[in-house]
Structure 1
Amino acid sequence: MAVSHDQFEIKFRLSDGSDIGPKSFPPATSIATLKQSILAQWPKDNKYGPRTVKDVKLISAGKILENNKTVGECQSPLCDLPGAVTTMHVVVQPPTADNEKKVAGEAKQNKCVCVIL
């Protein structure tokens, strides 16, 4: 996150290798706000896009960023390079509610019953 006039220059790398940005954000911007920005700019032709902010995980400098943190709190030592653009990786979590229901249903069907006489 390059510091330029109290702004961080960030681009978001998607799993297909394409980028969103770069765009400037003030240090007080929350990670949740970054995720909302990603949702608004998500490529419309990408059928596996996130539905909500909860579906998006941001990774910077090898760490998953928490929604309640700010961009300024999440900066790494590499962010102080003048003119540099920080790349954050975007991971989209697949919907889990349907998968959990299937797993729970399978667990009920695959019961093992032992009787000791």
Structure 2
Amino acid sequence: MAGEDLIELKFRLFDGTDIGPNKYDPTTTIGSLKEIIVSQWPQDKENAPKTINDVKLINAGKILENDKMLVESGVPVGKLPGGVITMHVVVPPPSLQKNNEKPLTDSAKKNRCACSIL
């Protein structure tokens, strides 16, 4: 069946909330997943990504590339029957994005965040 070939994914945001889970075809590109994340980003969250380039997807400690398909990215396709794969979503704070050329203030330096994957 075609339904058995799908991969169930959820996307974990920086504050522990999730987008999904939803099922995706193994040939779905990482760029397409990022488009879904940008479109489904919760309205009440700060630091919302504006484009897919503002989003980094991490699976098993590896940053996934936009042009790769899920099956090419080391995602365990077909190895977790009935299991949901959690991918971590990282969005850099506005003060660290490339378009912002102002030097960081002391308060901005204190408010930096970090992401740890356990």
Same fold (TM over 0.5): yes
Normalised by the length of structure 1, the TM-score is: 0.77
The structure with higher relative contact order (CA 8 Å, sep 6+) is 1
Give the 5 Å matches for 1:75-94. Answer: 75-77=74-76, 80-94=79-93
Residue of structure 2 in register with 1:15 after alignment:
14
User: Which runs of 5 or more residues in structure 1 are unaligned?
Assistant: 104-117
Equivalent residue for 1:60? 59
Matched-pair identity in %: 52
Distance in 1, matches of 2:78 and 2:72, equals: 11
Aligned to 1:50: 49
Q: 1:64, 1:78 → 2: CA distance?
A: 17
Structure 2 stretches of 5 or more lacking a match? Answer: 104-118
Once the two structures are superposed, what CA deviation does each residue of 1:19-70 show, in whole Å capped at 9, x if it has no partner? 0000000011000000000011100011211111100000001000000100
> Which residue of the other structure, out of 85, 96, 99, is the alignment partner of 1:97?
99
Give the TM-score normalised by the residue count of structure 2. 0.77
RMSD value over aligned CA atoms?
1.9
Aligned-pair distance for 1:82? 1.2
The number of residue pairs the alignment matches comes to 99
Which piece of structure 1 moves more, 65-74 or 89-98?
Answer: 89-98
Q: 1: CA distance between counterparts of 2:77 and 2:27? A: 19
Task: For 2:81 and 2:74, locate their aligned partners in 1 and report how far apart those are by CA, in whole Å.
Answer: 14
Max Rg structure: 1
Displacement of 1:17 after TM fit?
Answer: 0.3
